[in-house]
């Protein structure tokens, strides 16, 4: 197992071959620098992604469209982000190997159940778990009821602009509005208390 070290506190564990391939793609795209720092943080670009404690909702006119995401979930069933258009979506990138992901999983599941009647849907992106069995064990351990796309090579995460998702920062969470635009981006673990007010703000908006 290789270890990709970034500016976040949690290390991202990847299979060695996969990690090299992902790193090569990121380097070509300009998302990583040679010391593992996010390129945006070195270029002076203002990124939308922040830690949960400082996360804010982006004004509607400044939001970026979320990329099309579709594929098989952990049980092999097809799921797509577009299936949830018209609802507010919490998109959470996680891995079974990730300690902060374990720390936030129960909060996310609880909030998913509590906000479903309000029109909120949760969708996971399970990344860098080559073995679906490990990911399914994680889901069972936390009694997670929302689906997760299986993204073992991190390809789905690379579809997002680096200002919204740093592929090194797992977990990452996005709040997507009813029109499919990214309203908030969080790098690192999040609690239900931190995420709830962001959802309330986006739910107040007209579709």
The tens digit of pLDDT for each residue in 20-74 reads 333 333 333 333 222 223 333 333 334 578 888 889 999 999 999 999 999 999 9
Residue 5's pLDDT band (boundaries 50, 70, 90)? very low
Local structure of residue 78 (DSSP, 8 states): E
Residue 167: inside a domain: yes
DSSP per residue, 107-170: HHHHHHHHHGGGTEEEEEEEES-S-HHHHHHHHHHTT--S-EEEETTSTTGGGS-TTT--TTSS
Average pLDDT over residues 114-123: 98
Question: Residue 31: inside a domain, yes or no?
Answer: no
**Segment 94-115, tens digit of pLDDT:** 999 999 999 999 999 999 999 9
> Is pLDDT larger for residue 167 or for residue 144?
144
Domains identified in the chain, total number: 1
CATH number at 164 reads 3.40.30.10
Q: What is the pLDDT at residue 91?
A: 98
- In-domain check, residue 158: yes
- Domain with 73, as residue range(s), is 47-203
Q: Over range 4-29, report the average pLDDT.
A: 36
Q: Is residue 1 part of a domain?
A: no
Q: Quick check: is 6 in a domain?
A: no
């Amino acid at each position: 197992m290789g270890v990709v070290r970034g500016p976040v506190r949690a290390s991202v564990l990847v299979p060695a071959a996969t990690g090299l391939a992902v790193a090569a793609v990121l380097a070509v795209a300009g998302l990583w620098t040679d010391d593992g720092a996010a390129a945006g943080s070195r270029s002076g670009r203002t990124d939308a992604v922040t830690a949960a404690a400082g996360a804010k909702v982006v004004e509607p006119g400044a939001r970026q469209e979320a990329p099309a995401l579709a594929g098989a979930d952990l049980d092999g069933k097809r799921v797509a982000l577009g299936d949830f258009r018209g609802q507010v979506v919490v998109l959470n990138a996680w891995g079974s190997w990730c300690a902060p992901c374990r720390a936030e999983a129960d909060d996310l599941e609880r909030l998913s159940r509590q906000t479903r009647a309000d029109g909120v849907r949760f969708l996971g992106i399970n990344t860098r778990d080559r073995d679906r069995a490990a990911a399914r064990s994680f889901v069972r351990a936390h009694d997670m009821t929302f689906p997760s796309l299986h993204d073992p090579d991190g390809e789905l995460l690379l579809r997002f602009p680096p200002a919204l998702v740093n592929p090194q920062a797992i977990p990452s969470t996005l709040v997507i509005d009813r029109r499919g635009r990214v309203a908030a981006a969080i790098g690192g673990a999040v609690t239900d208390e931190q995420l709830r007010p962001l959802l309330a703000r986006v739910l107040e908006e007209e579709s």
